A and B are shown apart, each in its own frame.
Chain A
Amino acid sequence: MRKYWHVLKIGIENTMVYRVNFLLRAGFGLIPLLATIYLWQTVYRGQSSSIAGYSLGGMISYYLLVTIVDTLTAVNEDDWQIAADIKDGNISQFLLKPIDYLTYRLCLFLSGKIIFTVVSLVPVGIFIFCLRQYMVAPAGGWALVCFLLSTLLAALLQFFMSYTMALLAFWLLEVSTVIFMAFAFEYLAGGHVFPLNILPPALEAVLNCTPFPYLLFFPVSIYLGQVQGAALWRGLGIQAAWLLFFYLLARMVWHRGIRKYSAVGG
């Protein structure tokens, strides 16, 4: 275990180099968020009632929570780095050493997340503070605990999905198109763009059969108290099941990929 502790520490030191980039990324990302919030405010001004059960405060809180969960869970550069490691033959050294590549990458992902979260704390914190009048409190102490648990599961799910996707580099020359396509789909089906429960119910039901809502929408809806009781436990169970599924898939794809791998120029 100690060797992975070192990986975590090295990862933190390495990502510290990118702190200015992270700050810019987190800061600039708030501009479209602010624009979306203004847009919804204008929509609500046109009609006094709530929209699909969301008051204006609820809608703005939704986007603020999305920003928080996204900061805590999104992969930054991990998928590109994994694909590059495979393409450049860097993974050869992991095949020779007693280090498990998946655990190694997971440590780097976690260290990256720690730094990104700490750096984002300033701009995101100020932003939320300015909009605190709209921010609703969690639906209860228990909801907050489940929200945090679900966010942790979402981060791991996000990592295993991105990891599996990046392993396609064993077979494909160029994985960036695939990654961007999946990202576009995740953006919509995960609930980045709008809350999924303002969609027509049939469409929402279809999306709930995919893993994407469990990356973002599900934890946020726990916080807002939209899923409670049995539905909450069932949701957490499905989220954990998707996590297990993608963990096993990642292991399987790695084993297939290694057989294909020929260490060009390694």
Chain B
Amino acid sequence: MNPEPVKSISGLRRYAMIYAALWRNSVVREMGFKSNFLLWIVVELMWFTLQLCFIGVIYLHTDHIATWTKWQVVLLVGASQFIQQLFQAIFLSNCIQFSELVRTGRLDFMLLLPMNTRFLVSLRVVDLGGFVNGASALVVMGYAGHQLHLSPSAAQILGFFLLCVASILIHYSLIFLLTSVAFWTVRAQGIIWGYYSLFNVARLPDAAFQGFFKAFFTFAIPMLLVANVPAKLLLNTLQSPGSMLLLAGMGGMCFVLSELFWRFSLRRYTSASA
């Protein structure tokens, strides 16, 4: 008799129930400020439009950037927005609030709760507007695909969403790594906003870059993989499955790295409050 599998399934169910409760809390909280909720969606839509305007203006003066045509880049910007918005919806506000949890000592209570602390710290709050904005990004991608006469197979669409999961995992792991710096200095927020500026790199076509810049943002901080690889799968422009494996491998590696650093930081942690 081995009770382990049974235990882990009931454990998984317990975490699913906890997460459902966190979701309910977030919905209630958002609905308390309905107009604010809607206004934030408008803000995000404006920034998304701004990125599309940039692409539109460049293509007023050229018909290709390296190998990429206009609607291919629009699809890429859409994919990047989709990934970024889902990441924001699920993880971002939690990571931003983390240094506050350390500073105020609220983290100590969380450490005492009978569950995985990283789970709670990472998933406490859900930012529902991100799902609405993610959906609008999918609409833009659909329109771009229509302009390109794409008809992706079911396998391609499934592959796209799986690659998006790997990309979100990369964003989350890297930002969580930066978040853990809060254990040493409370002013980690500057670094987190710095990471935010890297999203501007993620939405550009990889073929526009070469040399050190490209290598660094592919193998060290894989910004040129996270949106490009999923988009290229839909565009039928992936030369080999190698880059998909690379993206998935990077996702796993970043996650393991962030977990190791988190455990190391936690061992050193001696609480902020008296």
Contacts and interface: CB of A to CB of B under 8 A. Distances in A.
A245 interface: no
Interface stretch (B7-15, B158-166, B185-193, B233-241): B185-193
B204 A46 contact: no
A42 B65 contact: yes
A130 interface: no
A42 B208 contact: yes
Interface string B104-127: 000000000000000000000000
B61 A34 contact: no
Contacts of A32: 197-198, 200-201
B154 interface: no
B42 A42 contact: no
Given A24-B190, A31-B198, A39-B204, A177 B60 contact: no
Given A177-B43, A198-B60, A25 B54 contact: no
A43 B198 contact: no
B148 interface: no
A21 B50 contact: no
Nearest to A21: B190
Given A35-B200, A177-B42, A184-B46, A52 B61 contact: yes
Classify the secondary structure of A's interface with B.
Answer: helix
B122 to A, nearest CB: 23
Interface in A176-210: 177-178, 180-181, 184-185, 187-188, 193-194, 198-200
Interface in A1-33: 20-21, 24-25, 27-29, 31-32
A133 interface: no
Interface in B4-34: 33
B213 A188 contact: no
A252 interface: no
Contacts, number: 92
B197 A199 contact: no
Contacts of A174: 33, 36, 39
A145 interface: no
A35 B61 contact: no
A188 B50 contact: yes
A194 B57 contact: yes
A181 B46 contact: yes
B61 A29 contact: no
Interface of A: 20-21, 24-25, 27-29, 31-32, 34-35, 38-39, 42-43, 46-47, 51-52, 173-174, 177-178, 180-181, 184-185, 187-188, 193-194, 198-200
Interface of B: 33, 36, 39-40, 42-43, 46-47, 50, 53-54, 57-58, 60-62, 64-66, 187, 189-191, 193-195, 197-198, 200-201, 204, 207-209, 213
14 contacts: A25-B190, A25-B193, A31-B197, A31-B201, A35-B200, A43-B65, A46-B66, A51-B62, A174-B33, A177-B42, A181-B39, A184-B46, A187-B50, A200-B60
